[in-house]
Structure 1
């Protein structure tokens, strides 16, 4: 397919995918549409399901699943006539479309992954791949007049700063990975799925908060026994789930709320650091865990951030910086389609995006 065929005629249609550590989503979007249609969701064939497998084996499984699911969708009535494919990927990547790591997908070190080349060769249509939070930022770009920082709290933690029409990240893929900022230098710090220790994502992501809740339940069985979490978990700390944890926090359960407050301290430090370093005053939070907790997530984070203080701001101004994004899970799908609409006609039809 040529670039000229993409740039003229009826509104273009895209097949867009969001490959996350927990779920792979694939849907169809027409140019200018505000939501994805015919979205299919399947569990990602990666670390979340097969934790004992080597990183390279998991990478191979994830790539095979992604390719297979995209090919199936393109061959279905929902995917018929799509002009291009866009994929958001949960991991750092270079501008030319090489994935450097997949901490929530395959964990430790695996080979650099030229995902754009692989998908273009196997699917036979123009392909664009971008980091998931880069893609998601484009969903909000037109609605946010000032620079903003988008932070996802899901299987892991990632962020991107959007300013003057672009995401601030290097061509080599550096930047936008606040989840791997080491906030605890101790040798016995909580392990991160990337293989490091003391990283923000290992402490304040959905998986991190769940691990903290289970550990707290073991350490303080009396408080756990009084918690709304005890019943659904059958009194077993290992039975606590993210869904029940979010529900208990929304209900102001003392035990669950105390766990989250502890985990939000390093996240507040991260926001404080970004603000102090570059002065961004708008922070949007998305991701399955943050959305599940809802407005209370922002309220509790605001409590911790005001305790730290942000140089030059009042407590009210600090709280006003924090907001939840849209409460659906289509951020990356919508943002990916907008990236395609903006950039594909000016390229050779394929490419990556950090």
Structure 2
């Protein structure tokens, strides 16, 4: 006899550099994986072709008959109400009907779309650092800065699937123009490329290997380079201001920070916690805790599956408990 624990969700994690897919079970295990580079500078049909190739690998496995739904976590903005995506870093997709395209490939199974930050949040609340917390902000700090919210013990996606997108809170009203059209966004200050850009502009230079990335800046900061430390301190200040604003607005208990930039460890987290004390000053916001994410690079896939499972009532284990 079939039980809910036999059901799988096909998950897609779509970003500017890679399109990943997996079949995920009710314990959050990834049974099958597939991956393609994102042809981000190509036209929309070519990008969709890469998505179809990833899905095709999953479809051809013996496990596919157990798949009950598809969950998609995509770089944004997304619009879950229309099933469309317009990722800033994939210019060929503007109001692209991703849900309809995927639904046409998966035999009528329901398809659930959320932003990639919301997917990461679903994963961390289900099995990671925010597990058991009723109110949380989870953030991805990487090439961009995304996020999502858990409120009242449940994933809060908002009508379009973008709720909690902390990367585009403005924390510097007269700051640099952001690709989103605003100025001084958290992402424009705290993302990996902007940490590296700021360090280079201030005189930091890569080592003998020529690596100009944020990871290299982090290594220099850990070694005591003052310019590298200053660039991370500025990123931490922007993140702290965004977290404090969120805590003040919706009374979160914890902010979970993941993504490649979070790999810098205490180079980021120490000044972040310090500056958070400067911004989260009201009694109900001052106790917010900052934790590193636990699920790493699989969070997008696990979370896309978790978001679909919660919305569709799959699996006996409720997401976040």
TM-score tier by shorter-chain length is 0.7 to 0.9
1:106 is aligned to 2:106: no
> 72-81 vs 250-259, which deviates more?
72-81
Seen in structure 2, the aligned counterparts of structure 1 residues 67 and 252 have a Cα distance that, compared at 3 Å, is: farther
1:123 is aligned to 2:106: yes
**Aligned match of 2:207 in 200, 208, 230?**
230
The answer for the alignment partner of 2:196 in structure 1 is 210
Query: How does 1:171-320 map onto structure 2 within 5 Å?
Result: 171-173=159-161, 175-186=163-174, 189-217=175-203, 224=204, 229-233=206-210, 239-290=211-262, 292-312=263-283, 318=287
Contact 1:86 1:336 in 2 (8 A): yes
Seen in structure 2, the aligned counterparts of structure 1 residues 77 and 193 have a Cα distance that, compared at 3 Å, is: farther
Contact 2:229 2:267 in 1 (8 A): no
Query: How does 1:79-158 map onto structure 2 within 5 Å?
Result: 81-106=66-91, 111-126=94-109, 127-142=111-126, 143-158=131-146
Contact 1:91 1:103 in 2 (8 A): yes
> 189-198 vs 325-334, which deviates more?
189-198
Q: CA RMSD in A?
A: 2.9
Seen in structure 2, the aligned counterparts of structure 1 residues 168 and 77 have a Cα distance that, compared at 3 Å, is: closer
TM-score by length of 1: 0.76
SS, match of residue 283 in structure 1? strand
Contact 1:282 1:321 in 2 (8 A): yes
Contact 2:256 2:290 in 1 (8 A): yes
Shift in Å, 1:81: 4.9
Alpha-carbon distance between aligned partners in 2 of 1:312 and 1:191, rounded to the nearest angstrom: 33
SS, match of residue 78 in structure 2? coil
Shift in Å, 1:309: 4.7
Alpha-carbon distance between aligned partners in 1 of 2:250 and 2:74, rounded to the nearest angstrom: 26
1:286-324 deviation line (CA, Å, top 9, x unaligned): 11221x21243221211222234522379xx65x61110
Shift in Å, 1:20: 1.9
Contact 1:97 1:130 in 2 (8 A): no
Shift in Å, 1:97: 4.8
Alpha-carbon distance between aligned partners in 2 of 1:275 and 1:10, rounded to the nearest angstrom: 36
Count of residue pairs the alignment pairs up: 309
Shift in Å, 1:202: 1.7
Larger radius of gyration: 1
Seen in structure 2, the aligned counterparts of structure 1 residues 216 and 39 have a Cα distance that, compared at 3 Å, is: farther
Shift in Å, 1:144: 2.4
SS, match of residue 84 in structure 2? coil
Contact 1:147 1:161 in 2 (8 A): yes
1:19 is aligned to 2:19: no
Contact 2:116 2:300 in 1 (8 A): yes
5+ residue gaps, structure 1, are 218-223, 234-238, 347-354
